[in-house]
Structure 1
């Protein structure tokens, strides 16, 4: 009776899986009874002692026969309970025991017994878009087979959504069968129960045959089809009718479905309502505001678990602070009171999936937990695998890179080449449990923020994995060609931010690579901080004249240049050039690079004659050493052309830029960043020459290609947009100029900040457009703001400050003229009247 009581308690607390649990419990009890039977039979053979007492009992009836009879009764109950549980999900075991159900029921009773699935949770909320999609799908082409897949992360609410749909649609289905699809054994048992229920046999094949031959509108729900190793195909009825609904973590089951829907995070309003419902809190405006702050990325199971904790503790207001400090503990806690009969916590459900992964896939997911949760690409790892420590003497040693190299080597084929197929196999494992998602258009992976955070809790040594991921990204940056850096920087930037602001600092040997990435992303302040550290470290360890130290000094100078700290850049560049000349000689390529960098700083400082002298030397020597068609020669030619442009020698500039563009197209291709840069420079020269239509043609091409290859927010794209806006302004296409100018200023402010020189240039250009449109008050507002900022950043006497002052004066004069003109017009109208 104690055993029966335990069975009853288990069933009442696991209603939706009662049939399967009852089967297992009965089998356990049979084993106990069999062991007792063996002991009794053994005792019967002994002459004295306990056996004599048993013999006395046996005289009154065979104990063995009674036990055998009880075992048969258990077996009968097990079969009958399968459909009894479907009649009433709250059916208690004692009711089943008291009902002497015959082994075969009348067909009418059987049909009714299987048409009732467990209802969804009482607090089920939202998912209306999914439900509407399912209703639309199943209501089309009646009489034909419909297969629909709900797939997503564990805890996303797939089963509850399926049950809600069945509850809403139950009247249109002739029979509803729910099968636990978590194991082959439970699938087999579910199908056998259908056969027994329909009185058509006792095997899974009998059930499939019945489903295939009965063209009624039955519904077959395969719930929790999560195991990717199970071939679901052999359990699907082979027919063209009926309705099948599958819930799974494995999106790969789409191959069976006529339609599917990814079940992920809820919409915020639905998530807030679910949280307050599960927390038993009133739906007041103040509670809604608090709930909106603490909903955990709108994942249903996390929300319900949070609500249960708040309901128990009353900690609605303080929950967010508690969560920040005790995230892992709270998401592991199983609530005692819950609206849903779900045995797992948020973390438990993911741990079960994680445990099914191979060691390789587990390690990959753990490394990803230190990257940004979106935009994770195979390229990061393939580039890193090509890193050769001996080719980077200033970088870490092979011993220091032991862990990341060892991991990456698993994806290298015998020929030493990156094995993309092997990587796909590892990521497919993760996708099959919805632990990660893949965007085929962007060719990148993403991890749910909560899974991303949880994965770190699986690590015994987080520091080791953090360092390994820092190294892998550093190795990847080192392998990316210079011409690909603009695009790569936008893709890698979120990951670098995540690694740097993680649990530790960037390894000193990779600060140089990370600074390079920030520089290409125009995050110059971040680049400066890392470059200062690199310069100090290299100067202390390798000495002031070491090539690595001079490279670090030159890089910092370039960053100062971009920050507008031109005098600081000049000081460093003079030192670098002097040391290069002394150590390497006048004609060394590194010396020429140093000379070109100093010339560009002189250009920006307005010292154009000094810039011209150096640039002529650089171009002449590169032509002689590298040849006319070398990219570095073309780069020097382009720089000299820009200086000629500033000096007003526009025809000389045009000649050089035409050559640079022609050779760039031939050598690098139409879409190469360097080709687009030279195209933009030639367009600007045409602009200066007044050949505005030629300028417009080139600038439209540049902008279109930059948008396509680099994206809307890339600095190069915004530069091209600003140039085209100026040309439109000159052409009198002021509305087009305004549209582009507003966009450039808005993006510059957001990306670079209010005071950056590129933001100020965008402000100046838009103010000029407003002036041209005779919208003088708007122009004046921008010019005043511009003048204040340029005075603060550049000083009162800088040419750009004086330029802003002159333009503000012109706008105010135009405003006064406009007012005077309006007064005169009014006077003449009155006179005529």
Structure 2
């Protein structure tokens, strides 16, 4: 219901809206009749003028009349019944406005009580009109009853009579030469000073918490009085800075207290003048400063709302070595004046108590629990909590607030309560709008763009690297890039270099109003979550800006080196998810970029959704045989495989290979790449089948059953394709080409899995020799070949040789890539595995713990690489006989796999089987049996009754039946196993 008045000549003008980034000016609502239109225009004019006069009660009554008129606008019919009421209210503020224009301070002081009385009365009228509209009875009849019962005409006439009487008093006291224009009217400080110089407005009656800040301030002001004490409270609008200052003042014993409105130079000068007048030392700001400089008593000067970064506050500070000063500001640059505290969100318990107090709700256990959830959603911002409490007090529905908030956030955070506990005139969203209106066009645009990213982890690098994007030659220029390129051009020099200084200037401008924060250690920006939500609400149409930010992020991702994409995906996935880049109409070059982020972050379900949508659109726009269509098809095949959909993955990749072969020929690089990808699917499928699950022995240990689970046929398919790829690449590219050496290494790995040890070793040694010669000993490609050779030695059982190479790989990767790089952690994990095989258990465990800690920190607890490290460590604990530790980790792995991949995914089934083995080793046969039954049912559903993995699940379950003494069930299952094997 609140409204922000248009800027007046005395206020800084808002930025122009010539571009597409800023919200255009909205015209006032259309009136239903001429009288209402005229009244609204009058009220808006007076309200705007009142903004320049620092009298809260003048602003309050004129703003309340405007709210009354806008409430009447919402009446569906018969609003004419309220015409007399509206005209009378408008006439009152018109008279008040004219009197203060004519007589300045004299009139303002005399009309103070009347203004507050009228404002309070009209707030009750507004609430009554709103309630009337909610009732079922006819509106006209209800209004007439209301007008008669309330005696509105008499009440309004009484106020007008009071005005006439006060006008006569003002005229009597008025002296020639004392006319003051509204822009030079004295501030609230002067009126307070004239009444009682030692009284500041008290803090809110529901002030809560902030004890740590208050203690710090009291300690600071209690120090040596021979030096001047300046304390700065800085932070976001609505964080409670002024209330903390007032609370500190209330709890202190200063000799003289002066509160100065510091929002404008004019109000500062007026506030200082009032000090001079009240102390009879002159009538100018300089007189006041001289008096403060000469007065060695314990005075306190509070500069409130020092938010405008263009004002040099130093010009108004007393130049002396004594006295006390508090500054409240949104501008963090003012920290340089003295001790300071960043005023941010409240502690949860204090925030919850504040909400309940403002909502007039009992602080019961049940209410406290509900209120805690509400303040969490409000991110513990004081002003938001007070507004929520006011709404709940009116609706009397604490439990239903969150549901309303989720669907009406902007309205609830923009609506001012009729009853207030302090003099703060703005709502959560309007207080930030005031700051936003001061931003330049470029700064406002950057803030709005960032509101489409996640509110943390925003970096300059996203924009600077995006500015270097080159549109691929095979795609025509797209209109989607016009706006992002135009925006980025503001930060690019004439020779194409990124201008960090210009970017710093713009971000500093936004930081000056605390609308964005910067962490110097991480070099990352962040936005308060509520500011983040509000920033989008400033847009009449968010689509152009969302598309712009989506393109900038896509441009950035395409420039990330392939070996850095995994770590980058962890940083960027929150941004990508928030942007919801699933629009297949977007720039084609960015589709793979966003797919890469989802894929490398382990978000395979989301990856599938993106790839499937993009594939459909690509087939429609470009055709089924277009290179981009086939690229997307290959990406989707890889995604299917990671989701455990092996048949879909294989079928799609076979189709890609067939199309490439038909369109480009057998020897084309794209055909060979497709062939290699299909071979990789076969290899991965073979590895997956190898480690499908562990098998119980009657003694409870685990052992491998290579004959039963060896996916030899799958590896043979991979071998055939890899031999062909190597032959063709050797022929087309030459023996020393990186593509040829990659194919050679891939074939060596498959030879190893097939037991062709000598071939595998010979081929991988050759790869290592060639890469060392061509690339050098420390090149990532060389280290990759060295690691593969170590893996082959492990497969051969030559663990000592494997250890030598793996130690070397780890040392070099640590040196070249750093301790936290994914490739370094992979080398660390491989070395741990070899240590274990060599009987160096403590070394193995130590490395695996370190790998898990680093992956969890860098990639997140749900990333596939983290879960693999967790599973490996659990296996090590199990093999060391530390079954309880193993169980804890395996339970966690199973829970995460189930949540992320689903109950039927191979990784989930493998995790379930591994946990069952640990339960078996712990002697908890009931839990093991429960999991064994689940595994058997899922294997039957997925693979059928005669699949080797299903038979293995039966055998494991039979062992558990024996352990539990379930002889009959065991015999039945053994007979079923025998019958199944005979039918094969």
TM-score tier after normalising by the smaller chain length: 0.7 to 0.9
- Offset of 1:434 from its aligned partner? 1.4
Structure 2 CA distance, aligned partners of 1:630 and 1:733?
Answer: 48
Alpha carbons of structure 1 residues 669 and 805: separation in structure 2 relative to 1, 3 Å = farther
Residue 165 of structure 1 is aligned with which of 248, 261, 278?
248
Contact (CA 8 Å) 1:668, 1:675: kept in 2 or not? no
- Offset of 1:353 from its aligned partner? 0.2
Residue 118 of structure 1 is aligned with which of 188, 194, 201?
201
Structure 1 CA distance, aligned partners of 2:281 and 2:460?
Answer: 52
Residue 507 of structure 1 is aligned with which of 566, 581, 586?
586
Contact (CA 8 Å) 1:155, 1:301: kept in 2 or not? yes
Contact (CA 8 Å) 2:193, 2:275: kept in 1 or not? no
Alpha carbons of structure 1 residues 571 and 425: separation in structure 2 relative to 1, 3 Å = same
Aligned position for 1:823: none
> 1:195-215 CA distances to partner (integer Å, 9 max, x unpaired)?
454555555445445545555
Aligned position for 2:445: 363
Query: Secondary structure at 1:445's aligned position in 2?
Result: strand
Residue 329 of structure 2 is aligned with which of 242, 245, 248?
248
- Offset of 1:810 from its aligned partner? 4.7
Alpha-carbon RMSD across the aligned residues, in angstroms, is 4.3
Query: Secondary structure at 1:150's aligned position in 2?
Result: strand
1:726 is aligned to 2:726: no
Structure 2 CA distance, aligned partners of 1:307 and 1:669?
Answer: 53
Query: Secondary structure at 2:177's aligned position in 1?
Result: helix
- Offset of 1:141 from its aligned partner? 5.8
Aligned position for 1:227: 308
Aligned position for 2:913: 764
- Offset of 1:374 from its aligned partner? 2.9
Structure 1 CA distance, aligned partners of 2:837 and 2:753?
Answer: 10
Query: Secondary structure at 1:390's aligned position in 2?
Result: coil
- Offset of 1:252 from its aligned partner? 2.4
Alignment of 1:444-455 (within 5 A): 444-455=524-535
1:275 is aligned to 2:275: no
> 1:315-356 CA distances to partner (integer Å, 9 max, x unpaired)?
656555554554434433333332222222222211110011
1:149 is aligned to 2:254: no
Query: Secondary structure at 2:558's aligned position in 1?
Result: helix
Structure 2 CA distance, aligned partners of 1:748 and 1:140?
Answer: 58
Alpha carbons of structure 1 residues 303 and 32: separation in structure 2 relative to 1, 3 Å = closer
Aligned position for 2:102: 29
Structure 2 CA distance, aligned partners of 1:359 and 1:597?
Answer: 49
1:376 is aligned to 2:483: no
Structure 2 CA distance, aligned partners of 1:627 and 1:129?
Answer: 71
Alignment of 1:540-579 (within 5 A): 540-579=620-659
Structure 2 CA distance, aligned partners of 1:197 and 1:31?
Answer: 17
1:431 is aligned to 2:511: yes
Structure 2 CA distance, aligned partners of 1:451 and 1:608?
Answer: 55
- Offset of 1:226 from its aligned partner? 0.7
Aligned position for 2:719: 612
Aligned position for 1:341: 423
Aligned position for 2:603: 523
Aligned position for 1:93: none
Query: Secondary structure at 1:411's aligned position in 2?
Result: coil
Contact (CA 8 Å) 1:184, 1:230: kept in 2 or not? yes
Aligned position for 1:485: 565
Alpha carbons of structure 1 residues 806 and 11: separation in structure 2 relative to 1, 3 Å = same
Aligned position for 2:262: 181
Alpha carbons of structure 1 residues 73 and 559: separation in structure 2 relative to 1, 3 Å = closer
Aligned position for 1:107: none
Aligned position for 2:57: 13
Query: Secondary structure at 1:338's aligned position in 2?
Result: coil
Structure 2 CA distance, aligned partners of 1:441 and 1:749?
Answer: 37
Structure 1 CA distance, aligned partners of 2:336 and 2:965?
Answer: 72
Alignment of 1:811-822 (within 5 A): none
Alpha carbons of structure 1 residues 308 and 598: separation in structure 2 relative to 1, 3 Å = same
Alpha carbons of structure 1 residues 326 and 708: separation in structure 2 relative to 1, 3 Å = closer
Aligned position for 1:580: 660
Structure 2 CA distance, aligned partners of 1:814 and 1:388?
Answer: 66
Structure 2 CA distance, aligned partners of 1:699 and 1:155?
Answer: 47
Contact (CA 8 Å) 2:624, 2:630: kept in 1 or not? yes
- Offset of 1:562 from its aligned partner? 0.6
Aligned position for 2:982: none
Structure 2 CA distance, aligned partners of 1:804 and 1:422?
Answer: 65
Structure 1 CA distance, aligned partners of 2:852 and 2:394?
Answer: 58
Structure 2 CA distance, aligned partners of 1:653 and 1:773?
Answer: 40
Alpha carbons of structure 1 residues 807 and 228: separation in structure 2 relative to 1, 3 Å = farther
Aligned position for 2:70: none
For structure 1, the residue ranges without an aligned partner over 5 or more in a row are 1-5, 18-23, 34-64, 89-112, 818-833
Aligned position for 2:385: 303
Query: Secondary structure at 1:465's aligned position in 2?
Result: helix
> 1:432-462 CA distances to partner (integer Å, 9 max, x unpaired)?
1111223344433332333222223322332
Contact (CA 8 Å) 2:187, 2:270: kept in 1 or not? no
Structure 1 CA distance, aligned partners of 2:837 and 2:747?
Answer: 16
Alpha carbons of structure 1 residues 681 and 629: separation in structure 2 relative to 1, 3 Å = farther
- Offset of 1:669 from its aligned partner? 3.6
Alpha carbons of structure 1 residues 324 and 565: separation in structure 2 relative to 1, 3 Å = closer
Contact (CA 8 Å) 2:242, 2:304: kept in 1 or not? yes
Alignment of 1:69-88 (within 5 A): 69-72=175-178, 85-86=192-193
Query: Secondary structure at 1:400's aligned position in 2?
Result: helix
Aligned position for 1:37: none
Contact (CA 8 Å) 1:650, 1:689: kept in 2 or not? no
Aligned position for 1:42: none
For structure 2, the residue ranges without an aligned partner over 5 or more in a row are 1-48, 62-96, 107-170, 687-710, 765-784, 789-805, 967-984
Aligned position for 1:717: 866
Structure 1 CA distance, aligned partners of 2:321 and 2:739?
Answer: 67
Structure 2 CA distance, aligned partners of 1:568 and 1:372?
Answer: 34
1:350 is aligned to 2:432: yes
Structure 2 CA distance, aligned partners of 1:699 and 1:592?
Answer: 37
Contact (CA 8 Å) 1:470, 1:506: kept in 2 or not? no
Alignment of 1:686-705 (within 5 A): 699=848, 702-703=851-852
Structure 1 CA distance, aligned partners of 2:736 and 2:282?
Answer: 83
Structure 1 CA distance, aligned partners of 2:759 and 2:840?
Answer: 15
Aligned position for 2:467: 385
Contact (CA 8 Å) 1:249, 1:434: kept in 2 or not? yes
Structure 2 CA distance, aligned partners of 1:530 and 1:362?
Answer: 31
Contact (CA 8 Å) 1:143, 1:215: kept in 2 or not? no
> 1:599-636 CA distances to partner (integer Å, 9 max, x unpaired)?
22222153122223333444566677778887756755
Alpha carbons of structure 1 residues 117 and 636: separation in structure 2 relative to 1, 3 Å = farther
Structure 2 CA distance, aligned partners of 1:353 and 1:402?
Answer: 29
Contact (CA 8 Å) 1:653, 1:685: kept in 2 or not? no
1:257 is aligned to 2:338: yes
Alpha carbons of structure 1 residues 153 and 793: separation in structure 2 relative to 1, 3 Å = farther
The alignment covers a number of residue pairs equal to 744
TM-score by length of 1: 0.78
Contact (CA 8 Å) 2:192, 2:199: kept in 1 or not? no
Structure 1 CA distance, aligned partners of 2:366 and 2:581?
Answer: 33
Contact (CA 8 Å) 1:692, 1:730: kept in 2 or not? no
Contact (CA 8 Å) 2:298, 2:323: kept in 1 or not? yes
Structure 1 CA distance, aligned partners of 2:725 and 2:847?
Answer: 28
